[in-house]
Amino acid sequence: MEYTQLGRTGLKVSRLCLGTMNFGPQTDEADSHAIMDAAHAHGINFFDTANVYGWGENRGRTEEIIGTWFAQNGGRRERTVLATKLYGDMGDWPNEGKLSALNIRRACDASLRRMQTDYIDLYQMHHIDRATPWDEIWEAMDVLRQQGKILYVGSSNFAGWHIAQGQEAARRRGGLGLVSEQSIYNLIERTVELEVLPAAQHYGLGVIPWSPLHGGLLGGVLRKEAEGSAARSTTGRAADAIGKHRPAIEAWEAWCAARGEDPADVALAWLLHQPAVTAPIIGPRTMAQLDGGVRALDITLDATALTALDEIFPGPGGTAPEAYAW
């Protein structure tokens, strides 16, 4: 396993981040525990979750599964850089979501209870809260840090100017501010290259891409569809997405086949070659998917390969404003 610093911090994390969103809804507790043990065996020390995972009436279930895994001891908690998120509503009563000081306090305490730990390494805002002032957010986060309940603060799904807002507000308070941004980023969805990635690099944030396979479209979906082995539905919205991107996906799968590589592994490897990226999130439902994801670390893409992939999936054309103006 390779390790890198998380943004401008001294914290070392693995180049792959274990996403746990499937734990509970798709993967039962026993298999989830086995996958987390296997992740440690591979050297993955960076785990990501969120308080809403489990979804609906089962919100919080994923954090509970992580908690029962930590409770087995064996150094599990000590060897894990634990990231979770808050923002989504955890109930139907006012102040059970968003980023008010009240919810930040309550949500953190609830996550700590569910995960059976006394601190969170990286506490991430799952979305921007336009109704809450930055001074309120940072004051609440500072209190959590002073109490030893969190170590670092990150963002997720922020625009570039939100990152700038947050960092400048933290700077006025003399604080560290954000250390990471978790964004959707993959070969198909490259919008963050316009302003989010430049903002993250300017302020020293590590970038943690989610949905690296774009909902499976970059995971060999056409080959699996032809073989009848597609794990996800290829009807409805999924079929519309395939139809929209079919020429590019066909070229992509042919290019990967010519190299003798699985498309899913190459998609992860491409992200690992992007200078702003700290660790893509892999969200395995099975042990085989975890083992496959680790294979991406062994794939090297030279300048010729990266240029070929830019031709298949052009992206926005670079950073703003040059991507759309002179």
Residues belonging to the active site:
53
Q: Give the amino acid at 125.
A: M
Give 68: exposed, middle or buried? Use CB within 10 Å, 0-12, 13-18, 19+.
middle
State the CB neighbour count (10 A cutoff) for residue 106.
15
Q: How is the beta sheet containing 178-184 ordered, strand by strand?
A: 206-210, 178-184, 150-156, 120-125, 81-86, 46-48, 17-19, 281-282
List phi, psi (to 5°) of 317.
Answer: 100, 15
Could you tell me which residues are beta bridge partners of residue 13? 4
Please give the single-letter amino acid code of residue 75.
G
Question: For residue 141, what are its two tokens?
Answer: 């986060």
3-class DSSP assignment, residue 178? strand
179-216: b (≥16 Cβ within 10 Å) or e: bbbbbbbbbbbbebbbbbbbbbeebbbbbbbbbbbbbb
* Residue linked to tokens 């499976």: 216
Question: From CA 226, how far away is CA 246, in angstroms rounded?
Answer: 14
Collapsing DSSP to helix, strand or coil, 209 comes out as strand
**Residues β-bridged to residue 86:** 125
Residues 68, 79: Cα–Cα separation, whole Å: 15
SS3 6: coil
Q: Long-range CB contacts (< 8 A, 24+ apart) of 167-171?
A: 167/203, 169/134, 169/135, 169/138, 170/134, 170/138
